[in-house]
Structure 1
Amino acid sequence: MIKGFIFDLDGVITDTAELHYEAWKKLSDEMGWHFDRELNEKLRGISRMDSIKVIMDHNHVSLADDVIVELATKKNDIYVNSLESMTPDDYLPGAKELLTHLRQEGFLVALGSASKNAIKVLQQLKAMHYFDVIGDGNSVAKSKPAPDIFLYASEKLKLQPSNCVVFEDAEKGIDAAIAGGFHSVGIGPEERVGHAELRFNTMKEATYFEVRSFFSDFF
């Protein structure tokens, strides 16, 4: 039986992707590195440290570990400052409605995000009350596609993975859900999240009724 829902944050609950892009772009420009939207897509769903390594590999750059940490921290400072502009109007269409409906139906709900700034984002959205458990980049050592963040969330919810549905917009996020034995809902294009059990182009389409209808054998 499905008793819990686990949501990624960026690209599912809200879209901070543009803020991340602008922060990475600013850092890359300062470093003289190439960075564009195509490369930015490869950062979807992965941690800050993994992201900077992807950018460095693309630019054939090698740096000492302490310098990498310093640059990743600088990018995060740029990003966190930009979060101050977020408001409760910045939910993706359909996300707030789904969270509200799940609460009304009595389901357990967790966040499963690679972001270390997830709580700040939820506070800006005034969304903390929707979640029983917050799993973020500070919760586990291994980021997606390892299933650790979702396993952390389900354990804190006191549910088995098979009792939970994961909502993800990243290929690596769906990989993580599958690896952990979770039901999966992909948000985005076929080529990115088509390997999820159920896929919607947008969160607006991902209503409680649509999800319950698809997984009807598990409710």
Structure 2
Amino acid sequence: MGYKKMKAIIFDLDGVICSTDHYHYLAWKSLADDLNIPFDEKDNERLRGVSRMESLDIILEKSKENYSLKEKEQFADRKNKLYQQYLLKMSTKDLSKEVKETLEQLRKKGLKLAIGSSSKNTMLILKQLGLDTFFDAISDGNSIQYSKPHPEVFMKAADLLNIPYKECLVVEDAISGCFAAKSASMNVAALSSAYHCTFADYHLNCFKELLDIKY
């Protein structure tokens, strides 16, 4: 199971370090309602681990209108502004004690810790959580060309850490993220919605089980 030696852990952000799914849903729901497009929490599940523009395309599948690229970009920008308004309500209280203590224990083990998230709001979220200076490297939607399941975001994080891909463990809650990590020959610890991922190296019932893995 996995490789014998791991020197770094790369965390997805949404759904792993914290939960912003509900804020994403509220923002997309508001936009969909304005466009008279049916959208519910089941539809929202399809957007997990997907980039903003790709998420918008999924939502627009139910639309009878054909929108130009410029209009789509305006819709995506409107959604993001709504989402950021919700994010500003976040605080250090949104970082669970379990996650905080686990991160601190992993750091004490001498592991390099990084974020690998497709979100372009990564720094805002980390700042609200009080983690903006905690991680050794941050790879996010502002520095990549391809979103998951492409492995670029994780590869960039490993490159910033100067750690070989095979010595990195990725923590993911989405199948697309697990696939991205394995595509880069990285180890994968799957939790939450990705728990039953058949090709994951580790299956976590909770975040603190990261401490049970032999690094």
With normalisation by structure 2, the TM-score equals 0.93
In 2 relative to 1, CA 60–162 (structure 1 residues): closer, same or farther, beyond 3 Å?
farther
> Which has a greater percent of helix?
1
Residue equivalent to 1:115? 119
% identical equivalent positions? 36
CA contact (8 A) 2:50 2:148 kept: yes
CA RMSD in angstroms, aligned pairs only: 1.5
- How many residue pairs get aligned? The number is 211
Amino acid in structure 2 at the alignment position of 1:101: Q
| Structure 1 residue runs without a partner (length 5+) | 213-218
Q: 1:200 to 1:139 in 2, by over 3 A?
A: same
CA distance in 2, matches of 1:174, 1:154: 15
Aligned-residue offset at 1:129: 2.8
Match of 2:161 in 1: 157
Query: Using the alignment, how far apart are the partners of 1:147 and 1:83 within structure 2?
Result: 26
SS at match of 2:133: helix
- AA aligned to 1:178 is K
For the Cα contact (< 8 Å) 2:9–2:168, is it kept in 1?
Answer: yes
Structure 2 counterpart SS, 1:199: strand
Output one character per residue of 1:186-210: Cα deviation in whole Å (capped at 9) or x when no partner: 1114676343111123324x241x2
Other structure's SS at 2:138 match: strand
Asked if residue 211 in structure 1 is aligned to residue 213 in structure 2, the reply is yes
Q: Where do residues 101-180 of structure 1 align in structure 2 (5 Å cutoff)? A: 101-180=105-184
Give the letter for the 1:45 counterpart. G
Aligned-pair distance for 1:117?
0.3
- Listed as ranges, the gaps of 5+ residues in structure 2 are none
Question: What TM-score do you get using the length of structure 1 for normalisation?
Answer: 0.91
- CA positional deviation for 1:93: 5.5
Partner of 1:201: 205
